[in-house]
Amino acid sequence: MNDGVFERVERLSRREREIFGLLGNGLSNRGIARRLEISESTVKFHVSNVLIKLRVESRLQAGSVACLLLARPAPPGLP
């Protein structure tokens, strides 16, 4: 799965990264909207951007990438 997708995560905006992380936690669009106090259509917009920027085909793939990133050890010098 790592065809540069981990590097592309850095291109996500702050809000897209928030949504990306919540996808990794398995939240639905409705769950993300409630958590972030935004509309579901706004969530859909951001999820679409995440999929495009990461070059993945589904929210499941995006969530899998998020889980893999959370499981990776932090680079040296970071807490």
Residue 64 to residue 56: CA distance in whole angstroms: 10
In the predicted model, is pLDDT for residue 77 greater than 70? no
In the predicted model, is pLDDT for residue 57 greater than 70? yes
**Residue 19, domain member (yes or no):** yes
Residue whose token pair is 């050890």 = 73
In the predicted model, is pLDDT for residue 2 greater than 60? no
pLDDT-derived band of residue 78, with 50, 70 and 90 as boundaries?
very low
- Number of compact structural domains in the chain: 1
pLDDT reported for residue 74: 57
Q: Find the domain containing 47 and state its range.
A: 5-71
**Residue 57, domain member (yes or no):** yes
pLDDT-derived band of residue 1, with 50, 70 and 90 as boundaries?
low
**Residue 76, domain member (yes or no):** no
**Residue 77, domain member (yes or no):** no
